[in-house]
Amino acid sequence: MKISQLAEQTDVPTKTIRYYEDIGLLKSAKRAENGYRYYQAEDVQLLIFIRRCRDLNISLDEIKTLVKVQRQPNNSCEMVDSLITQQLGKVRKAQQELQKLESSLATLAHCCTSNKIEDCMILNTLKASPNSA
Residues 6+ apart with CB under 8 A from 104: none
Q: Is the pTM of this model over 0.75?
A: yes
Phi-psi region of 28 (alpha: psi -120 to 50; beta: other; left: phi over 0): beta
User: Is the residue at 101 inside a domain?
Assistant: no
Total number of domains in the chain: 1
Per-residue pLDDT of the chain (133 residues; tens, 9 = 90+): 999 999 999 999 999 999 999 999 998 888 888 888 889 999 999 999 999 999 999 999 999 999 999 989 898 999 999 999 999 999 999 999 999 999 999 999 888 888 889 888 899 889 987 775 5
| 88 lies in some domain | no
- The enclosing domain of 53 has a CATH number of 1.10.1660.10
